[in-house]
Structure 1
């Protein structure tokens, strides 16, 4: 009987341990999802910046074309063309930097999403283990109650003798 109690206690402790692990995994999943949401927001912000920089680049390129036309007509706007070309080059470099940053953020977001999926799978597995342990606990409790009833019946039979 003490062995049964010990086994039941071990099963209860295992069940609590697995439940704690499952809660921890769920908390990690939640945290990773929050990080993923932050990264998605960051990616969206970077996309907006890239769009704005692309628009700036387009406007600058148009201005460069206009300046080139004026120059061909004889206007002396060489310094403006040079400054616009420098600005275009600078904007192109900024665009490249932003695109690189966007790609890195996207990769990080993908990694976070993969980790979240792994943690979700692990949480499901732990839930299944917990369910199995609970079923085993119920089975053991039923067996214990049957043995206890049988023992009481035997003791009662002995008392009647």
Structure 2
């Protein structure tokens, strides 16, 4: 009988351990599914960027093909080909610089948005403070007027005496 109880206890412990392991594995599955979703979103974003870059590459390759066709027309066009290749290189550099500037501008825009939000909250806080001070001022002005009235009444009573 004791052996059966020991066996049952060991089976319960194993079942508890298995349940804990299942819960851990379920948590890991959820985490991996979330990670997978993020990766899929990143893949979609990268595919879009890749499509844009491929279009730009096709455009640039078209430019290169045009320039090569001009260069093949004859030796007199060799200087023109060199000039076009330099121009293409400059355009690529300008495109890279434009991309860099765009990224910097986007970063600055994000920072500006953050600062604007911060200042909007600060303005709201200051407006709230102003409203409180105005309310206090109005209250003090009423008290002052009441005290002033009492003083005038008191002076009138003293004058009558």
Normalised by the length of structure 2, the TM-score is 0.46
Q: Which has the larger radius of gyration?
A: 2
Larger RCO (CA under 8 A, 6+ residues apart): 1
